[in-house]
């Protein structure tokens, strides 16, 4: 779940605690171009204050009018659709051909507050939770969700999925790890940092990030990595990185990467080949980790790695020129740029 949407839930709870009425808006379906994905949340307070976005501001004014009418009437949840016609899409400023279906859910009183607080507690505990909303009654219930479960809406029941949909294991607790953990947390990852070295782990202090002191390869096995998992090795120490990478490359993790120079990355691949990893497994290793953006400082390198990890998560194949090794080759004195070769 996007951390932006978690903040929306927190605002909704704060407003309910203050005795305000709230409408929670969920994007349930999109057609064509759409500013926000399915599952995106927006909370509207009874005085017009808004948290989050479902359209980048295109339809929020109309939504506010609907929400106020809904709060006054005390109605059950309702469905709203925008952009059905080209004329309506232009009216609300939606992208060409864009259509959105939303569910507007009124929240008020102790029952809503208790239910929303329970949901946030489950998210804070790192659980993946399905929230089922009955549109006929407005009643909700929570249950555990499977990693591959997605939002579903059949017109009667809305099932939304909340909690960390993706996990990131960072090996090493240095400065670069700190910046990457912050970025990944903001992207909605459940982040674990593994470093058995006391001089590093003792100084770690990033809220919401789990720190373990076990050996990295043991942590890889304990976490049972799946297709929603990523691993990034950042210690530069083969004793810590290599065994963990060997195990990670034999899982379904969607992104496995290691920091290092081009020479060190080539040497790492040769070492890993000695452990009977197949060519198909070795080619999955991203190293040097990240995309080439000329990064030099830990924050810049963290941005580079997060960008490559995001592309891998979204199934985007990046151009060869964005690979760190290739990007650096093309910047070397006397190098012939790829574009010139293709001309």
Identify the pLDDT of residue 336.
47
Identify the pLDDT of residue 327.
64
Identify the pLDDT of residue 99.
78
In a domain, 155, yes or no: yes
Q: Is 118 in the same domain as 178?
A: no
Q: Is 130 in the same domain as 152?
A: yes
Higher pLDDT, 148 or 222: 222
Identify the pLDDT of residue 33.
56
Taking the CA atoms of residue 287, residue 289, residue 291 and residue 294 in that order, the dihedral angle to the nearest 10 degrees is: -100
Q: Is 170 in the same domain as 157?
A: no
The CATH number of residue 240's host domain is 3.40.50.720
CA 54 to chain centre: 17
* 338 confidence band (pLDDT: 50, 70, 90): very low
Higher pLDDT, 267 or 321: 267
Q: Is 135 in the same domain as 263?
A: no
Parallel/antiparallel/unpaired status of strands 210-212 and 189-194: parallel
Contacts with 158 (C-beta within 8 Å, 6 or more apart), sequence order: 26, 28, 77, 103, 132, 133, 135, 151, 152
Q: Taking 90 as the threshold, does the pLDDT of residue 38 lie above it? A: no
Q: Is 153 in the same domain as 249?
A: no
Average pLDDT, the chain: 85
Q: Which of 110, 140, 162 is the last residue of a domain?
A: 162
In a domain, 141, yes or no: yes
Q: Which of 118, 143, 162 is the last residue of a domain?
A: 162
DSSP summary character for residue 206: -
Identify the pLDDT of residue 299.
95
Q: Give which of 135, 163, 151 is closest to 5, Cα–Cα.
A: 163
Q: Is 151 in the same domain as 246?
A: no
Number of compact structural domains in the chain = 2
- Residue 131 and residue 119 in contact, taking contact as beta carbons nearer than 8 Å: yes
- Residues 88 and 104: their CA atoms lie apart, in Å, by 19
219-233, 236-250, 313-327 — which is least confidently predicted? 313-327
In a domain, 130, yes or no: yes
Domain that holds residue 313: 166-329
Which H or E element spans position 112? helix 109-124
Q: Taking 70 as the threshold, does the pLDDT of residue 164 lie above it? A: yes
61-65, 254-258, 338-342 — which is least confidently predicted? 338-342
81-90, 177-186, 257-266, 331-340 — which is least confidently predicted? 331-340
Parallel/antiparallel/unpaired status of strands 229-233 and 166-171: parallel
Q: Is 75 in the same domain as 158?
A: yes
Q: Is 154 in the same domain as 172?
A: no
Q: Taking 90 as the threshold, does the pLDDT of residue 157 lie above it? A: yes
Q: Give which of 236, 218, 255 is closest to 172, Cα–Cα.
A: 236
Provide mean pLDDT across the span 117-139.
92
Q: Is 210 in the same domain as 111?
A: no
- Residues 248 and 46: their CA atoms lie apart, in Å, by 49
* 289's tokens: 């980790």
> pTM (2 decimals)?
0.68
In a domain, 334, yes or no: no
* 128 confidence band (pLDDT: 50, 70, 90): confident
Q: Is 144 in the same domain as 237?
A: no
Q: What are phi and psi of 100, to 5 degrees?
A: -130, 140
- Residues 266 and 29: their CA atoms lie apart, in Å, by 45
Give the DSSP letter string of 116-172.
HHHHHHHHHTT--EEEEEETTT--EEEEE--TT---EE-SSEEEEEES-SEEEEEE-
Q: Taking 60 as the threshold, does the pLDDT of residue 295 lie above it? A: yes
Q: Is 100 in the same domain as 226?
A: no
Q: Is 133 in the same domain as 35?
A: yes
Q: Which of 162, 190, 207 is the last residue of a domain?
A: 162
In a domain, 96, yes or no: yes
In a domain, 293, yes or no: yes
């Amino acid at each position: 779940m996007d951390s932006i949407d978690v903040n929306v839930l927190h605002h909704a709870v704060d407003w309910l605690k203050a005795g305000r009425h709230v409408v929670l808006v969920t994007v349930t379906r999109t057609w064509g171009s759409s500013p926000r994905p399915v599952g995106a949340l927006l909370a509207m307070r009874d005085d017009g204050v808004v948290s989050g976005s479902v359209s980048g501001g295109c339809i929020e004014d109309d939504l506010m009018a609907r929400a106020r009418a809904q709060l006054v009437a005390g109605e059950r949840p309702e469905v709203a659709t925008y952009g059905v016609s080209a004329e309506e899409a232009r009216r609300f400023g939606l992208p060409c051909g864009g259509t959105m279906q939303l569910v507007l859910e009124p929240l008020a009183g102790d029952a809503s507050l208790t239910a929303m607080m329970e949901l946030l507690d489950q998210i804070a505990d790192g659980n993946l939770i399905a929230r089922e909303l009955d549109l006929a009654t407005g009643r909700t219930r929570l249950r555990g969700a499977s990693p591959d479960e997605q939002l579903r809406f059949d017109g009667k029941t809305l099932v939304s999925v909340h909690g960390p949909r993706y996990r990131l294991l960072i090996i090493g607790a240095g400065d670069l790890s700190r910046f990457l953990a912050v970025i990944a947390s903001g992207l909605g990852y459940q982040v674990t940092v593994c470093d058995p070295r006391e001089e590093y782990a003792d100084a770690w202090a990033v809220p919401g990030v789990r720190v373990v002191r076990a050996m990295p390869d043991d942590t890889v096995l304990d976490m049972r990595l799946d297709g929603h998992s990523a691993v990034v090795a950042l210690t530069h120490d083969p004793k810590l990185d290599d065994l963990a990478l060997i195990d990670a490359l034999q899982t379904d993790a969607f992104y496995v990467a290691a920091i290092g120079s081009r020479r060190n990355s080539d040497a790492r691949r040769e070492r890993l080949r000695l452990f009977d990893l197949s060519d198909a497994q070795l080619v999955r290793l991203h190293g040097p980790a990240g995309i080439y953006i000329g990064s030099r400082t830990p924050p810049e390198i963290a941005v580079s790695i997060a960008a490559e990890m995001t592309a891998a998560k979204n199934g985007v194949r990046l151009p060869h020129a964005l690979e760190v090794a290739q990007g650096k080759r093309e910047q070397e004195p006397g190098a012939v740029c790829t574009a010139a070769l293709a001309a």
